[in-house]
A and B are shown apart, each in its own frame.
Chain A
Amino acid sequence: MSDFNHPSAVDRRTLLKSGAAAVGLAALGPRAASALAASTVDHQAGVVFAPGLPGRDYTPVITPNGAALPFRVVQGVKVFHLVAEPLQHEFAPGLTAECWGFNGRTPGPTIEAVEGDRVRIYVTNRLPAATSVHWHGILLPSGMDGVSGLSQAPIPAGATFKYEFTLRQHGTFMYHSHRDEMTQQALGMMGMFIVHPRISARRPDRDFVLLSSEWKVLPGARRPDPNEMLEFNVLTFNGKAFPGTAPLMVKQNDHVRIRLGNLSAMSHHSIHIHGHAWTLTETDGGVIPPLARWPEVTQLVPVGCTRTMEFIADNPGDWALHCHMSHHTMTQMGHSGINMLGVDAAAVDRAVQPILPSYMTMGTDGMGDMGEMGMPVPPNSTPMFGTTGPYGYIDMGGMFTVLKVRPMLRAGDEARWWEPPAGTLAQAARPEELARDGIIVEPSASPPAAPHHHPPPPTFQPDRPK
C-alpha cells in the first residue's frame, strides 16, 4: 500500500511517468467528502492511490450463496462489468422464478474495492426495459448517481453505459436499479458494494455480507409480482430462503463481522443472532465512535440501510440467525387461510371428505408440522418452511440461516450438526429429577388434544400436475 502526495498543479504527463495511477483533479468531484463519511486517509490534497489488492490491502468478504464481481486494473483504474439481464433464480429447493439481476444472479455479484480506488463500472443492459444503476450510499459526482431522468438518461435495452468515480469513503454500501424501481427491485436488481478502508487497524477473521429482500411469488407461479405492496411471501438473505441459505462457517473465537443490507420493498427487518451479543459498529453513513456503539442481540435494519455488526464467536454450536418478524421466517405462507386452531379436525374431515376424498384438515393445532406432511403442493412451490434437523423438523423458512461456530473448522462441517457436550442439551425431565426438585405435574383435567394428523383415506391419489 503506498500513497503519495502531489502538488496541486501537477501535470498529467508527470503523473503517468511516475507509474502511479493518475487521477485528474477534475475527476475527484466534490472537493471534500461528506464530513461524517468514514475515511482513513486524506482525500483533500489530490492524493492518488494505487488500486487496493485482495489479501494485501483487504480480506475479501464472504457472500453466502453469492459471488464477488471480478475486476481488472487498467492504467490504475479498477474496471468492473455489470450485465443487467433476466435469469432463472432458485430461492429454495423446488422454488424457482424468472427474475432480473446482474451477471446471471440475484443479488448481483458483490463489488469490492478499497477507499481511494478509482473504479470504472460498465453496465450493459440486456433487459427488455431501460435501466440505470444507483450506487447506494456512495459519495460521488451527481452525474454518476444513477437516478434515471434526474442524474442521467436511462440505459436503453442493448446499450452499455460507463460509470466512473473515485471512492472517498469506506463502508458497506449497495447498488440497485434506479429506474422503475418498483418493478426492477421486485425482480431482484440489487447487490452489495463493499469499500474497505485504505488503512485498517484490525481486520476481522470472517467478514460476511447478507442482503435482505422480499418477493411475492404465488405457489405455482413462475415470476415475482412487482405490484405487491404488502403480502410478500418469499423473504431472503442473498436471494435465498431457508433451507436454501448457506450456513455461516466460523471458527471459535474468530472476530466476525456481518454486514446487513436491506433492499426489501416494504419491510424493515429485525435480525436476531442466537448465542452471542453483537455490536453495531458502522452504518452506511460511517463508522460509529466506539463509545457510541450499541450492543445488541437483535439489530433493526430499515429499508435502504446497511448495518455492520461485529462480535467474537466464543460460543460453539449451531446458532440461528434470522429475522425476528415471524412471517419473515415462512416461505409462501398464505394469509387468506382460515384460522383452524382448536377446531375439531375429525368432525371437519367427516363433513368434507365425502365430497373431496383427498381433503384433510390442517392447522387445528398450529402449523409446526405442515412442512413435513408431504402433501402434494402446486408445482414450483415449497412447503412453507423447513428441513430436517438433528432433533426433528426445523419449522423455519425465509430469512433464516445458521451460524456454525466450531472449535476447529473441517471440510464438510457445513452439513454436520453440532454435537452438544454432555449436560448441554434440553431433554425430557426424568421422574427422579422432578421429585428431587419438588416439581409436581398435575394430571391434566382436560382430555389430550385429538391427534392433529388425519391422513387422507387410502384412496387418496394426488393429481400429477400436467
Chain B
Amino acid sequence: MIPVQREEARSHRPSGLRALLLGAMLVALPACGPRRPGLATQPVDALLVARTGVAAPRMRGVDSLVASDSVRAMLARPLTPDAVVRVTLLAQPRLRSLYEEIGLAQADVVQAGLLSNPLASVDRFTEGRFQEFSVALSFVELLRRPLRTRVARARLETTTLQVADAVFRAVTDARSALAETVAAEQSLDLRRRTRQAAQASATTAALVHQVGNLLDLDLASERARAAESDAAVLRAEGEAAASRERLVRALGVDVPGDSLRLPARLADLAGAMPPRDSLVALAVNSRLDLAAALSEINASAREVGLTSRFRYLADGSLAYSGEAEGSRMLRGPGLSVPLPLFDRGQARLQRAQAALRQAVARQEGLIREVRSEVRESLAQLDAAQRRATRYQADVLPLRQRVTRETQLLYNSMAIGVFGLLAAQQAELEAGQGYIESLRDYWIARYHLEQALGTRIP
C-alpha cells in the first residue's frame, strides 16, 4: 500500500530503498481494528534496526519487569554504544510516550472505520400512548467511510515515521552523550595526572627552597601552577559529573550518574571517510523526517480529496419512521439532507488545501536542509578525523619524544628537574588535545548519522 504521491511531490519520490522500507513498514502496519499494545512499535523497530544496526529489544510496556531486569544487566557492564541504544529503547519514558502517538493514530484509524450508531427516536404524547417512532442512519458516513479510513491510515503512516525519526535521533543523541561522558572521564584522569606532576614540581621547589637554593618568586610560581592545576581538576570533576547526568537523562534510566559504568577510553578512529558523493542521495532515501514529510503530503492530499468529494453533502441520513393515526400505524422511509445554502463546504476545502500546500512547502524546505546538513556534518567529520589523526600520528609521539629527550638532557645535567616535569606536563596537555579531538570525531560521526538518517556506510 504505497501512498500515491501528488504531482508536486513526485520529483522527490524516494527510490527503491525507501519504497522497500515503506513497503516493509506498511506490510507490518496493522490494517485496522484494535491491537494489543506493544505491537504498534514493530514498524518503528524495523526502521531502527536498519539504521542503527542494533536489534531493538522486543519488550516494552507490558514486559516492563523483564525490560528493567535487562536494563539492569546492561548497566552492570561498561556501556558500549550498542548497549546505549538498547537501554534507551527499553528504559526511556520519553520514547514510551512517543510510541503512544502511534497508539493515538491507530485509534483514529479504528474510529474512521466505525459507523455512527443509528438514531432511534420515540415520541409519546399526552394520552400516554406511543405515538411516533423513527430509526435514522447517516448514509453519508457510510459513503465516506472508505475514504475516511484511508486518510486515517495515511496519518498513521506519517505518525509512525515521525516517531521512528524521533527515536532514531534519541538513540543517536544517547551515543553522543556516551562519547562526551567517556571523554570527560579521560580528561579528568589526565587533569589529575597533570596535577600530580605540578604538585611534584611544587614539592621539589619547596625542598630546594628549604635548603636555600631557590627564590621565593620561583617557589611561589611553582605553587601557583600546582594550585591552578588543582583548579583545573575541580573543573574537570564538575564536567565529568554533569556529563554523567546528561547521559543518565539520554538513557532515561533512574540511577545516579556516578553509578554508570563506562568504557576506559573512547574507541579509536573508525577507518576511512565514507564516499562523499553518494551521501546526499543516501540521506534523501534514509531520512525518516523526510519520509514523514512526504507521507504528510500524501495524507493532506487524501484529506483534500475527501473534503472536496463531500463538499456539498456534509451530512445526510436515511430514516424509517412510523406514526400512529388513531389505531393505524403509518410507516415509511425518509431522507434528510442539509441544503448547502450557506455552508457549501468552502471553508473546509480551503483549510484542507492550505494544509496540503503547507505540507508541500515543509517537505521542500526540509530536503534543502537535509542536503546542507549532510555537507556540514561531512566537513566537520573530515576536519575532526584529520585533527585526531594528526594528534595520533604526530603530536602524541612527538610529545613523548620530547619528554624522553628532556630526560636525557636532565641526565646530562643540562637542565633541572623543573624543566623535566614541565615536559611531562606538556605531554599530558597533548593527551588532553588528543582526547578532545577524538571526542569531536565521534560526535561529528553521530551528527553525520543524524544528517543521513542512518548508519554511515
Contacts and interface: CB of A to CB of B under 8 A. Distances in A.
Given A348-B207, A378-B409, A463-B404, A337 B196 contact: no
Contact of A334 (B212, B413, B417, B421): B413
B207 A219 contact: no
Interface in A152-175: none
B294 to A, nearest CB: 60
Interface in B410-425: 410-421, 424
A354 interface: yes
Nearest to B212: A342
Contact of A220 (B193, B211, B403, B409): B409
Interface string A331-355: 0111011111111100110011011
Contacts of A462: 408
Contacts of B408: 219-220, 376-378, 462-463, 465
Interface in B400-441: 403-405, 407-421, 424
Nearest to A350: B203
B197 interface: yes
A147 interface: no
A355 B421 contact: yes
Nearest to A218: B414
B414 A336 contact: yes
Given A334-B415, A340-B416, A348-B207, A355 B424 contact: yes
Chain A CB within 10 A, most for which of B212, B407, B421, B424: B407
A352 B417 contact: yes
B214 interface: yes
A381 interface: yes
B416 A336 contact: yes
B207 A355 contact: no
Interface stretch (A99-107, A357-365, A404-412): A357-365
A159 to B, nearest CB: 40
Contacts, number: 112
B418 A332 contact: no
Given A332-B412, A359-B407, A348 B204 contact: yes
Given A341-B211, A343-B207, A347-B207, A336 B412 contact: no
Interface in A192-246: 218-220
A336 B196 contact: no
B200 A337 contact: no
B413 A351 contact: no
Contacts of A352: 200, 204, 417, 420-421
Interface in B172-221: 193, 196-197, 199-200, 203-204, 207-208, 210-214
A343 B208 contact: yes
Given A354-B196, A378-B409, A340 B208 contact: yes
Contact of A355 (B196, B211, B214): B196
B329 to A, nearest CB: 107
B331 to A, nearest CB: 104
B417 A358 contact: no
Contact of A370 (B200, B210, B413): B413
Interface residues of B, number: 33
Contact of A337 (B210, B214, B415): B415
B411 A376 contact: yes
A338 B219 CA distance: 12
Interface in B320-360: none
A344 B203 CA distance: 11
Contact of A338 (B214, B404, B411, B412): B214
Given A343-B213, A378-B405, A463-B404, A336 B419 contact: yes
Chain A CB within 10 A, most for which of B203, B204, B212, B405: B204
Given A348-B207, A352-B200, A356-B420, A333 B213 contact: no
Contacts of B418: 338
Contacts of B200: 351-352, 354-355
Chain B CB within 10 A, most for which of A332, A351, A362, A370: A351
A375 interface: yes
Contact of B211 (A332, A343, A351, A375): A343
Nearest to A362: B413
A340 B409 contact: no
A216 to B, nearest CB: 12
B407 A356 contact: yes
B208 A356 contact: no
A381 B417 contact: no
18 contacts: A220-B409, A333-B414, A334-B413, A334-B415, A337-B413, A338-B213, A339-B213, A347-B203, A348-B417, A351-B199, A351-B200, A351-B203, A351-B204, A355-B197, A355-B200, A359-B420, A383-B412, A384-B412
Given A352-B204, A356-B424, 6 more contacts: A332-B414, A352-B421, A370-B413, A376-B407, A377-B408, A378-B412
Interface of B: 193, 196-197, 199-200, 203-204, 207-208, 210-214, 403-405, 407-421, 424
